[in-house]
């Protein structure tokens, strides 16, 4: 593939972290580039302001803006339906994202310089698996760097000294990606999410499955829905590694041996399930998926598993933040959709001796909260619901209390919990955070602050 950025003229749409990384890369490689942002009050960082001058605008665009432009590199945070994108298409401009730009640049490099890449998507667990794969590869002597939706823009990985780029890929990134070559790809799971942007579950699944288009192999959850490559994804479908919690002679499975449950690969015992340092059965699946991906870049499961104990989980993903009076407080603020909350409930319930009390709510993004109801009935004693769509929880689970703030939710949940009975207060919102907080990280921080403040108040009163 022959691709030289100097031979093209670009517009970068949306100047968040990803868009800024695109502009910096293109300017550094002497490409013709200008940029727009949809926020009328947005101000460029000083380095880009001096470099771009009048090449940046936050004003409405006119057709002549795209004169001489080949390619619009669109931020994943901006929908393909916005008027600026429609205008670009009317002017014959190709619309791609930063991941597709990475694919083209990386694919044009000499083989000794090109990065190997693996891709991870799914409704839930992407970041955990991405960071875990990166950790295990590096621990086994393979230079790896995480990039994509995990936080580091993928173009920053091109100039790194890594041999393997471990990509977390969202549906928003994948819908503008068409030529990404991957050593291994996985769709961890699929649940209703981002239907406010994709419109239907079918369109959401189609976006996710673009990860398999040029993948050499697929890592597939044996019992998952919508996670297997389609017939048109020939290479991925022909080279599949399966995993699951049930027993199986092939791939990764859970087997009972020596009086314990073990994660096994092709009948070789790897690690006791109880020795996995990540809470919940959903994380057993995440570990299997990570091991499967490592296999495809030459690291044996028996080698990788020995480094699992040194992995540090990312914050806000089923992490215990406090234990006051025998009540465990768990931050799962990253659970921004129903599937993530279901995974947390099913993962924690078997290990919860007392009541499981849920704090949830926010912006449901058009999801049907009724699909959560059976899991609430089975596992949860009480819900304290906050935010824009709090009433949806009340409608599907009668034992729901509507509250107006995180502090009020924490206070109510703590009062409902018993002392020393093994109760758990779980923040797992099943909703986005943008109605009340800056992001899910901010929501998790406010949760911890409310827990700590309540504890201090109780001790000093």
Active site residues: 126, 149, 194
Backbone phi, psi, residue 29, to 5°:
-105, 20
What gap in Å lies between CA 319 and CA 278, rounded to an integer? 9
Cα first-last separation, the chain: 70
Tokens representing residue 51 in the block: 């470099």
* Residue pair 86/63 in contact by the 8 Å Cβ criterion: no
What gap in Å lies between CA 206 and CA 183, rounded to an integer? 20
The residue assigned the tokens 């799914």 is 122
Tokens representing residue 2 in the block: 């022959």
The edge-to-edge listing of strands for the beta sheet with 319-324 is 319-324, 327-331, 424-427, 356-361, 382-386, 400-402
Degrees to nearest 5, angle at CA 146 with 145 and 152? 110
* Residue pair 333/450 in contact by the 8 Å Cβ criterion: no
Q: Strand runs (DSSP E) across 287-395, as ranges?
A: 319-324, 327-331, 356-361, 382-386
Q: Which residues pair with 422 in a beta bridge?
A: none
For residue 39, count other CB atoms closer than 10 A to its CB: 11
What gap in Å lies between CA 28 and CA 93, rounded to an integer? 23
Burial of 195 (0-12, 13-18, 19+ CB in 10 A): middle
What gap in Å lies between CA 305 and CA 270, rounded to an integer? 7
Q: Which residues contact 16 (CB under 8 A, 6 or more apart)?
A: 75, 77
What gap in Å lies between CA 233 and CA 211, rounded to an integer? 10
Q: Which residues contact 412 (CB under 8 A, 6 or more apart)?
A: 384, 401, 403
432: enclosing H helix or E strand: none
């Amino acid at each position: 593939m022959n691709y030289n950025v100097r031979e093209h003229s670009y517009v970068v749409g949306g100047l968040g972290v990803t868009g800024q990384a695109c502009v910096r890369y293109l300017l550094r490689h002497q490409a013709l580039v200008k940029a727009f942002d949809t926020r009328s009050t947005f101000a460029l960082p000083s380095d880009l302001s001096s470099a771009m001058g009048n090449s940046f605008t936050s004003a409405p665009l006119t057709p002549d803006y795209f004169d001489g432009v080949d390619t619009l590199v669109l931020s994943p945070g901006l929908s393909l339906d916005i008027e600026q994108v429609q205008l670009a298409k009317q002017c014959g401009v190709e619309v791609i994202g930063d991941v597709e730009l990475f694919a083209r640049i990386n694919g044009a490099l000499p083989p000794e310089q090109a990065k190997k890449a693996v891709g991870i998507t799914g409704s839930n667990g992407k970041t955990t698996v991405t960071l875990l794969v990166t950790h295990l590869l590096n621990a086994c002597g393979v230079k790896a760097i995480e990039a994509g939706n995990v936080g580091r823009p993928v173009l920053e990985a091109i100039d790194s000294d890594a041999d393997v780029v471990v990509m977390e890929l969202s549906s928003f990134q994948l819908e503008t990606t068409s030529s990404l070559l991957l050593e291994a790809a996985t769709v961890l799971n699929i649940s209703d999410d981002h239907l406010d942007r994709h419109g239907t579950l079918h369109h959401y699944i189609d976006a996710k499955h673009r990860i398999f288009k040029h993948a050499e192999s697929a890592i597939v959850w044996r019992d998952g829905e919508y996670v297997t490559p389609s017939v048109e994804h020939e290479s991925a479908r022909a080279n599949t590694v399966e995993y699951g919690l049930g027993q199986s002679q092939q791939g990764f499975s859970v087997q009972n041996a020596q009086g314990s449950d073990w994660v096994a690969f092709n009948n070789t015992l790897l690690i006791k399930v109880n020795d996995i340092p990540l809470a919940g059965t959903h994380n057993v699946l995440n570990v299997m998926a990570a091991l499967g991906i490592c296999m495809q870049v030459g690291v044996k499961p028996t080698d990788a598993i020995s480094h699992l104990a040194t992995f540090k989980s990312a914050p806000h993903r089923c992490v215990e933040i406090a234990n006051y009076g025998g009540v465990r407080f768990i931050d799962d603020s990253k659970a921004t959709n129903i599937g993530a909350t279901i995974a947390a409930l099913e993962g924690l319930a078997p290990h919860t001796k007392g009541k499981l009390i849920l704090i949830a709510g926010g912006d449901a993004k058009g999801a049907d909260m009724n699909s959560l109801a059976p899991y609430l009935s089975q596992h949860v004693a009480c819900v304290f619901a906050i935010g824009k769509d709090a009433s949806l929880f009340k409608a599907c689970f009668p034992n729901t209390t509507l509250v107006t703030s995180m502090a009020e939710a924490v206070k109510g949940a703590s009062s409902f919990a018993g002392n020393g009975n093994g109760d758990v207060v779980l923040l797992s919102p099943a909703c986005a955070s943008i109605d009340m907080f800056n992001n899910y990280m901010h929501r998790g921080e406010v949760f911890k602050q409310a827990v700590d403040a309540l504890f201090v108040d109780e001790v000093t009163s």
